[in-house]
Amino acid sequence: MKRFFLLTIFLAGCAAPPQGPSETAPPPVPEAPPAPKENVAIAGLMESARSDAAAGRLVQAAASLERALRIEPRNPRLWHELARVRLRQGDGAQAANLAARSNSFAGSDAQLRAANQGIIEQARTAR
């Protein structure tokens, strides 16, 4: 009996004291999921393509974008940029096809879908 009593006292000492409503700690804030990491090579090729396109070097811009697409073939922004370059080169049919391909990978990105639709419409009016 004495052992039972000592065991009960020992176990009671191990228990955490009850906390009142004012003593409760706020719930832990969940960590935000990590942002997707952008491929450094893709970012460099995209920047190179944009600067080439701005300078009028459309062939070099297209080559950079095609190289980037070999690395990330499901990247809708790359397909969109290549569609813009092809449209500036006067190849409306290919620009429309590339914009449609970009839409197939765009998911719920409404802004990119609208930009692609603009390319498709420009290509149709240019015909």
Measured CA to CA, the distance from residue 74 to residue 39 in angstroms comes to: 13
Question: Does the domain made of 39-126 have the CATH classification 2.60.40.10?
Answer: no
The rounded mean pLDDT for the chain is 83
CA proximity to 46, closest of 75, 88, 96, 81: 81
Angle at 83 between CA 77 and CA 85, to 5 degrees: 105
pLDDT, tens digit (0-9, with 9 covering 90-100), for 55-96: 999 999 999 999 999 999 999 999 999 999 999 999 999 999
What are the residue ranges spanned by the domains of the chain? Answer: 39-126
Q: Is the pLDDT of residue 8 over 80?
A: no
32 band by pLDDT with thresholds 50, 70 and 90: very low
